[in-house]
Amino acid sequence: MTTKRDYYEILGVSKNATKDEIKSAFRKLAMKYHPDRTKGDKESEEKFKEIAEAYEVLSDDEKRKMYDTYGHSGVDSRGFDPFSNFSNMEDIFSEFSDIFSSFFGSGFSSRGRTNSSRSRSSRRGEDIALEVVITLKEAAFGTEKTVEVSKHSTCPTCNGSGVEPGHSKETCPVCKGTGQQVSRQGFFTIATTCPRCQGSGEVNPHPCHTCGGKGVIKDKKNVKVKIPKGVDNNTKLKISGEGEAGIGG
């Protein structure tokens, strides 16, 4: 029979530790041994389970009192189950979700899945920066310059969708449209971005023949830049709508 380690020793705190000290110690250890960080290492999973069990007892006033008085038998043999609140081991996240979210972000759910909306394939176009050289006279009185801009423009064939006209995107067969792949590591359920659709939940079996499915094409365009009088050296001027085209809408 394996002898259980002292719960205070597991968390590295004294028997007089406050609730905040216990919670802080658990947070640090959970961050170190969480399966998301240890990539399925079985020893680390067992360590994490041990840490969680210690915290479950020491963070509860009644269970802690029984443990301080009777040791492990106080919580094992007197009607207390360290994980009595959990229908299965995954539910440990429900109890500690506030702690996990502090280092996995607010999107981390009580069962180890991210709650944030799945990423889409669309993204905003990049800004384009160009340097225009003018004379002192042009700087003093203002001028208008025509500059050639090499940029990505919305594909005229698919109108930016990346899909060949007459076809449409389909639900990803790997993640079934969720944008995530869910796997189990021990008693944890881990969700990761689907490698097939990159989180969009859709695949494009019929990419546009013009842009290759990107939704944008490389293009050159002449843009007129109005330079106001009295500009200083290194002045930055913004021209709305003349940056890179966004991808996927």
Q: What pLDDT, on the 0 to 100 scale, is given for residue 58? A: 93
Q: Indicate the range of 30-44, 57-71, 155-169, 199-213 predicted with least confidence.
A: 30-44
Contact yes or no for 213/162 (Cβ under 8 A):
yes
Between residues 17 and 191, the one the model is more confident about: 17
To the nearest whole number, what is the mean pLDDT of the chain? 76
Please state the rounded mean pLDDT for residues 154-183.
91
List the chain domain ranges: 7-105, 133-169+204-248, 172-203
DSSP assignment of 42-88, as one string?
HHHHHHHHHHHHHHHHHTSHHHHHHHHHHTHHHHHSSS--TTTT-SS
Q: Indicate the range of 36-40, 71-75, 218-222 predicted with least confidence.
A: 36-40
Residue 109 has pLDDT above 50, yes or no: no
Please state the rounded mean pLDDT for residues 124-153.
78
Closest Cα to residue 225, out of 119, 127, 146, 108?
146
Q: What pLDDT, on the 0 to 100 scale, is given for residue 2? A: 58
Between residues 16 and 227, the one the model is more confident about: 16
Q: What pLDDT, on the 0 to 100 scale, is given for residue 152? A: 81
Residues 6+ apart with CB under 8 A from 78: 66, 70
Please state the rounded mean pLDDT for residues 10-36.
88
Grouping H, G, I as helix, E, B as strand and the rest as coil, residue 218 is strand
Between residues 103 and 215, the one the model is more confident about: 215
Q: Indicate the range of 47-51, 136-140, 221-225, 232-236 predicted with least confidence.
A: 232-236
209's tokens? 């023949």
CATH superfamily of this structure's domain 133-169+204-248: Urease metallochaperone UreE, N-terminal domain (2.60.260.20)
- pTM value is 0.39
Q: What pLDDT, on the 0 to 100 scale, is given for residue 186? A: 58
Residue 115 has pLDDT above 50, yes or no: no
Please state the rounded mean pLDDT for residues 96-101.
50
Most confident of 1-5, 95-99, 122-126, 241-245: 1-5
Residue 81 has pLDDT above 50, yes or no: no
**CATH of the domain spanning 172-203:** 2.10.230.10
Give the CA-trace dihedral at 9, 14, 19, 21, to 10 degrees.
-90
Asked if the 7-105 domain carries CATH number 3.40.640.10, the reply is: no
Please state the rounded mean pLDDT for residues 90-102.
48
Secondary element (H or E) of residue 99 = helix 92-104
Q: What pLDDT, on the 0 to 100 scale, is given for residue 107? A: 41
Residue 193 φ then ψ, to 5°: -65, 135
Secondary element (H or E) of residue 216 = strand 216-227
